[in-house]
Amino acid sequence: MKQLPIRNIRIFTLSVLLLSIISCKTKSSASAGQQWAASALETAGQQYRFLAKETPPDRFPKTFEKGKLITSSSDWWCSGFYPGTLLYLYKASGDPFFLKEAEKKLTVLEKEKNNKTTHDLGFMMFCSFGNAYKITSLPQYQEVINTSSHSLISRFNPVTGTIRSWDAAPWNSQWKYPVIIDNMMNLEMLLWAADHFRNPEFKAVALKHAETTLKNHFRPDFSSYHVVSYDPETGKVEKKNTDQGYADGSAWARGQSWGLYGYTVMYRFTKKPEFLKQAQGIADFILNHPNLPADKIPYWDFNDPSVPNAKRDASAGAVIASALLELKTYVPKLKSRTYAQAAETMLKTLSSPEYLARNGENGGFILRHSVGNMPDKTEVDVPLSYADYYYVEALLRYLGKSSY
């Protein structure tokens, strides 16, 4: 074999070294101070590669309990989070594996666009098909969002001024017309569709629901009830309760996170000052609460009397962090810094070994220690698909890789 001259070898070695340095700089383009977030996203991708292998083709992962993967059919309210997270991971990495896996699940999920029995179509269809359209611009995805939005507004009652949450069933027979704070999360799809399809009805329904919820769901300290039930004939409030919190008058952590995220989104689309005021009020309630731990991951309910021994809820922390990273862009500099620092603390905590699973642990889910429904003793201290979704979303926002 012909040997290279010494001079050429030196040039080649220098070239390799320079390429290596450039590669390292590219990898750390998020800045040295953000490397932990980039690393966390890589871990998340490794986990979802594992989870994809474990998930049956026609099912959607919910949680992992007692060494077993728990999945759902497409009509479960969490079905959109798994493909949504895959799409976020594709956005973060550019790896076509995540896009292909998401597309497989979208095919199974699409039929839910005609589902008029649930208020959760925003979770199901916008976290999935909404992200898919933003990434690919494929027209078939936007049509799914349009149909889904029509299905969602079929649940709107102009007398109550709200979108009904749960339909009549034995387990919720105590309420005539229940509306839960979670419903605020499903309005983003309507507002996006209103702009995209120039449909004023979508926006009118979203606005009215948000205004009614603002009036009836919140206490003077900006904490919220979980369930507010109405008389569908008169529109008057009949009850204010909880289904998943510690008590009717307590502040169920994930409920507070839904409200914070929901009103931040409402302000994004409408620029109405009352929505910004509400979002700030909820954020300040959360961040200034005496029972919020120093690491900023809330207990499952702020008023659980067993605090500080109560269970933490990583899902609530992930939603709050993501919401704060958007809300900080709408407020004055000092307040913005407060929100940004709190979100960073939350994400660093969630990215620590206590919460962030590695190497095929946790059934392939990303985060540990979420709480689904404590009163029913279901999904307690387990991974949850929506915790993963909002965690990855928050990391992308933190790294400046995600627009709103």
381 is in an annotated binding site: no
182 is in an annotated binding site: yes
58 is catalytic: no
- Rounded to whole angstroms, the Cα distance separating 72 from 109 reads 11
How many beta carbons lie within 10 A of that of residue 81, not counting itself? 24
Token readout for 234 is 């008169």
75 is catalytic: no
| Identified catalytic residue from 58, 75, 182, 295 | 182
**Would you list the DSSP string of 295-328?**
T---BSBTT-TTTTSSPB-HHHHHHHHHHHHHHT
Burial class, 226, CB count within 10 angstroms (exposed 0-12 / middle 13-18 / buried 19+): buried
Sign of the CA dihedral with 162 first, then 219, 312, and 374 last: negative
301 is in an annotated binding site: no
120 is in an annotated binding site: yes
| Identified catalytic residue from 120, 243, 304, 313 | 120
- Rounded to whole angstroms, the Cα distance separating 107 from 2 reads 56
Token readout for 8 is 């050429």
254 is in an annotated binding site: yes
- Rounded to whole angstroms, the Cα distance separating 293 from 182 reads 24
List the binding residues for substrate. Answer: 120, 182, 242, 254, 258
List the binding residues. Answer: 120, 182, 242, 254, 258
The set of catalytic residues is 120, 182
